[in-house]
Amino acid sequence: MLKGRLRKGRRTKELVNHLRRGDIALISHEDLDLVAAESLARTGITLVLNDKKFISGRYPNLGPEHLLARNLKLYDSVPQELWGLPDGTQVTINEEHNVLFAGKDSFPLDNPLTVEAADLQLARTLDNLDRELEKFIDNTLEYARKEKQLILGLRDLPPLETSIWGRPVVVVVRGRDYKKDLGAIVSYIKEARPVLIGVDGGADALLEYDLKPDIILGDMDSVSDRALLGQCERVVHAYADGRVPGRERVEKLGVSHTIFPAPGTSEDVALLLAAGKGADLIVAVGTHSNMIDFLEKGRQGMGSTFLTRLKIGDKLVDARGLSKLYQGRLTLGWAAVLFAAASMPIVALLYASPGFRHLFYLLMYKLAGVMG
């Protein structure tokens, strides 16, 4: 029997900001991605109800296995009627009969997703990858043709108070393993002091490492108020069709901002802005760069990203996977070598002391006497 307060949200990345330990989350998220799953797990919830399939079979998404490994209960294809319950309703899940009770109302549930079932479903997705890849390539080429003039001809960049010309820039996006990869370059950031651009939730990732973003860019849907209210520049991404979804948020907070109309994703726009403003090096952390990344974001192709990376060229360094590149451990032999190397200067200084030399000689004579 599980009890908790029902919290609802059709956009998972917005719902996580309202979840508390012990809550039961109701989401509408087909093929739950790893980043969203990590966000859900960090809230301390006990159970996730999904009106869609956690694993549809289109591609291998790793979100459900991440939650199952942390002992969260997962029910998918739940009744749509659950959305009619008021947010915050106290509910009870009868695990024996798979029924959700909310006061006098009851809702039947399918069997919860198990680790074994998730493994089997993910194994079956591998047979579908080639078909998805073919569709993904066609979509990418189609949109690359449509958007090439927009991106190649992008000249009107917004004015910035932050000077970028001739400096390195680190662009942080909340993609897979973004925290580990950001942690791997913290020393570089503290030494090189690059311009830090947080793309939406990437700004909060910087704050978690006690790094202050110089610029926050995006549609402002997954960045915290704390980050937006900090001392930084805010660039709101306006889409090619004229929509500016982030403007209402920043205006409500009463913070200064600049509107930047540009095609592509917000991370594409951040990279183009850094390159256009004269960065001598752009380090990308957590950016999306392969088919699975984009399918998890609900995008069917990567036309704008493909063009953006072509335009920037060798200025761009992708830090993705850097945290996995070397994970060596200090062996006992290496520890002995390091200890000996560190001890040599100390021994040399002590030997230079007359008192220490006399003590050393006395010990040697004593040892020789003992040895005969």
**Other beta carbons within 10 Å of 158:** 17
From the CB of residue 220, how many other CB atoms can be counted at a distance below 10 Å?
25
Q: What is the mean pLDDT of the chain?
A: 82
pLDDT on residue 268 = 85
- Cα separation of 9 and 22, whole Å? 16
> pLDDT band at 167, cuts 50/70/90?
very high
Instruction: Please provide the CATH number assigned to the domain covering 2-113.
Output: 3.20.19.10
Q: What is the structure's pLDDT at 371?
A: 60
Q: Examine the pLDDT at 29 and tell me if it is beyond 60.
A: yes
Strand partners, 101: 92, 106
pLDDT at 108 over 60: yes
Q: How confident is the model at residue 330 (pLDDT cuts 50, 70, 90)?
A: very low
Question: Among the listed ranges 73-77, 212-216, 242-246, which one has the minimum average pLDDT value?
Answer: 242-246
Instruction: Say yes or no to pLDDT of 355 above 70.
Output: no
CATH number of 157-325: 3.40.50
- Residue with the two structure tokens 């690359």: 144
pLDDT exceeds 60 at position 243: yes
Q: Any idea what the Cα angle at residue 175 is, between residues 174 and 179, rounded to 5°? A: 70
What pLDDT score does 272 carry? 87
Exposure string (b/e) for 319-341, b if CB count within 10 Å is 16 or more? bbebbeeeeeeeeeeeeeeeeee
User: Which residues are 2's β-sheet partners?
Assistant: 93
210 vs 290, residue with greater confidence: 210
The answer to whether residue 289 scores a pLDDT higher than 70 is: no
* Cα dist from 143 to 66, 140, 147, 151, whole Å: 33, 5, 6, 11
**Is the pLDDT reported for residue 310 higher than 90?**
no
Q: What is the mean pLDDT of residues 303-322?
A: 74
**Spatial separation of the C-alpha atoms in residues 160 and 184, rounded to whole Å:** 28
pLDDT tens figures, 132-157: 777 767 766 676 666 665 566 566 78
Q: Looking at per-residue confidence, does 346 or 288 come out higher? A: 288
- Lowest average pLDDT, out of 106-115, 205-214, 351-360, goes to 351-360
Q: Is 60 exceeded by the pLDDT of residue 357? A: no
pLDDT at 359: 57
Percentage of the chain surpassing pLDDT 90? 47
**Mean pLDDT of all residues in 22-40:** 92
CA proximity to 52, closest of 91, 14, 79: 79
High-pLDDT (> 70) share of the chain, %: 75
Q: Length of the chain, please?
A: 372
Torsion of CA 108, 112, 117, 119, to 10 degrees: 140
Who wins on pLDDT, 115 or 125?
A: 115
pLDDT of residue 59: 80
Q: Which of 41-55, 63-77, 110-124, 284-298 has the least mean pLDDT?
A: 284-298
> Which amino acid is located at 83 in the chain?
W
**Stretch 75-86: mean pLDDT:** 95
Check whether 274 has a pLDDT greater than 70.
yes
Identify any residues that bridge with 75 across adjacent strands, giving them in sequence order. 49
* Spatial separation of the C-alpha atoms in residues 149 and 273, rounded to whole Å: 16
CA dist 130 and 238 (Å) reads 34
Residues 256-266 pLDDT 10s: 999 998 877 88
Q: Say if residues 188 and 218 touch (Cβ distance below 8 Å).
A: no
**Strand order of the sheet with strand 316-318?**
258-261, 233-238, 215-218, 195-199, 168-172, 281-285, 316-318
